[in-house]
Amino acid sequence: MSSIPSSQAQGALFELVARGVKDKYFMADQKESAFIYDASYDASVPHLGERRTFVPVNGTGFGTTFDVEIEPYGDVLTECALEIQLPTWLPQSVAMGTETVPASVVNGLYPITSVGSGLSYGYVNGMGYFLLEKVQFYQDQILLQEWSGDGLLAKQLTEGSYHHGGLRLLRGGWMDTAERTAERNIQLRATPPLLRVHLPLPGLQSPTDVGLPLLAMTWQTLRLRVTLRRLEDLVVCSDGSVFKPAPWDVPFFQYTEEDGVTVQTFAPLRREEIGAPTILLSTVQRYVPIEAQKALRGARMEIPFRKMMENRFTFNDSNFIALDKGGVSAVTRKLEGRHPTERLLWLFRLQEAVDKGRLDDWYNPYFENHPVTETQPLTQPYGGFYYRLKLLIAGRDREKLESGEVWSVVGPWAKQERVSGVRGLGVMDWGVGDQMGVRYPTERLPTGSVNMTTADRPTLYLELANVPVHPLRAERVVEMRVWTEAWNVYEIYEGRGRALFAS
């Protein structure tokens, strides 16, 4: 016992008794031996994300269509967006003092107006979205999804948190509607920054979606086909009475320097001198470890995703005659839709607003210049295009006749996490909305729907409100867009992907 350390060393006796067993467990050359302090490790690829941009296959131009491929350089696609840089009609450089500076700098510092008339020009509010007339997502030659820029904007206005959703809207060029018509804000939009519009591909539609596993789809080519609006349809003027604003036809613009005395004058670019928009496809793709790669390639994966189908309707003078005679303007429009549909989105706008480039104006100003009568009361909410609306299926009410206040205010506040606050945007939602006690992030799945594939003659019934007469066309013309947002499933197996429910 003389070899036992002093009692000052705690556990000395226990160390002596346990040494033999410990040495056998850690050091002996037996099958059950292990050395837990081994510093060696297996090589592993971290879950890193890489962003790359891709140039379209053909050139981009206002009013044209171009294609761009989604090239797989990583393992899992987690973000897909279009990066847009719009050209300007202002010259490349403008005189300021004794120097010349970029026009975008001057435009950000001083009000720029046309000489004589004092008007300002700029792109429409939300120009990143409205530039996109149509975006199609193809797998080889199969069309999987299709959106319009208007639909993407309506979708983004009603989804996500106020912080996250608002930031995405801002990146797309959208600002609060209370500020969109301010003269200074219109002028600032003449030189917009880099815009980004996110595309909700399968696996990229909610914060909890894990992405689209490209490494498991080696036999497909994924691409986007994008159609752009004309430049003439995207410009607005500070004078709300101007149709088809054309700042490139203005002889001269001017601004006053900081001293309040020096006035600089310059000519804008002509229409043929204005370049095409620069559009790149931006993707984030993540790299996963080898074990995860093997699991993804061998697994059968089913990714639920939402798919929008757009309906466009037009109302003209013949639809408003009943109002002129003191009656009710009751109209019906049959909807086209597929699959289990969770909600409808819709908006109205005057053809006059479209012709003025004000694509973001979803407001009816009729009662600002016309008296309220017993047969034509104010709409609820004010500035609406209809009094009441309902949905019919098989000739029977699927949703009861309710005022616009229910569809535009009450419903969104009751069910949506984010309320757009934009007048004119209506929502008919069959989901149950946010649930008490749900801990986010949570899986996004349909909580209620109407099967539009089997629905018999789904029809919208509307009681229209009166609208102003178009000053140039001398008739009343209103555009309505309705989107059915349905669920589908994208299956990936044996290197191929397919939508389980085809149209």
Q: What's the CA gap between 475 and 148, in Å, rounded?
A: 27
- The pLDDT of residue 420 is 75
What would the pLDDT profile of 274-328 be if each residue is shown by its tens digit?
999 999 999 999 998 888 899 999 899 999 999 999 999 999 999 999 999 999 9
pLDDT reading at 63 higher than 60: yes
> Residue 63: helix, strand or coil by DSSP?
coil
What would the pLDDT profile of 1-11 be if each residue is shown by its tens digit?
455 455 555 56
Domains of the chain: 1-40 (no CATH), 44-90+126-244+274-299 (2.70.9.10), 300-503 (2.70.9.20)
Least confident range from 26-30, 148-152, 219-223, 260-264: namely 26-30
CA 389: distance to chain centroid?
Answer: 26
* pLDDT tier at 161, thresholds 50, 70, 90: confident
- The pLDDT of residue 1 is 46
pLDDT reading at 47 higher than 90: no
Write down the mean pLDDT value for the chain: 89
Query: What string of H, E and C letters represents the secondary structure of 100-166?
Result: EEEHHHHHHHCCCEECCCCCCEEECCCHHHHCEEEEEEEECCEEEEEECHHHHHHHHHCCCCHHHHH
Give the sign of the dihedral formed by CA 51, CA 52, CA 53, CA 56.
Answer: negative
- The pLDDT of residue 419 is 78
Give the sign of the dihedral formed by CA 498, CA 81, CA 487, CA 385.
Answer: negative
pLDDT reading at 342 higher than 60: yes
What would the pLDDT profile of 412-453 be if each residue is shown by its tens digit?
888 877 777 788 899 999 988 666 556 655 667 788 899 999
* pLDDT tier at 208, thresholds 50, 70, 90: confident
Residues in contact with 10: Cβ distance below 8 Å, sequence separation at least 6, in sequence order: none
* pLDDT tier at 170, thresholds 50, 70, 90: very high
Q: What's the CA gap between 168 and 198, in Å, rounded?
A: 8
Average pLDDT over residues 244-251: 96
pLDDT reading at 40 higher than 80: no
- The pLDDT of residue 263 is 93
What would the pLDDT profile of 352-410 be if each residue is shown by its tens digit?
999 999 999 999 999 999 999 999 999 999 999 999 999 999 999 999 999 999 999 99
Give the sign of the dihedral formed by CA 174, CA 365, CA 238, CA 259.
Answer: negative
pLDDT reading at 25 higher than 60: no
- The pLDDT of residue 65 is 97
Position 44, amino acid: S
Average pLDDT over residues 92-117: 92
* pLDDT tier at 15, thresholds 50, 70, 90: low
Q: What's the CA gap between 281 and 142, in Å, rounded?
A: 20
pLDDT reading at 16 higher than 70: no
pTM value? 0.88
Least confident range from 174-178, 302-306, 496-500: namely 174-178
Query: In 340-473, which residue ranges form alpha helices assigned H by DSSP?
Result: 351-355, 366-369, 404-405, 411-415
Q: Is the peptide bond before 441 cis (omega within 30 degrees of 0)?
A: yes
Average pLDDT over residues 331-351: 94
Give the sign of the dihedral formed by CA 180, CA 184, CA 186, CA 191.
Answer: negative
Average pLDDT over residues 96-120: 92
In the numeric block, which tokens belong to residue 305?
């995703």
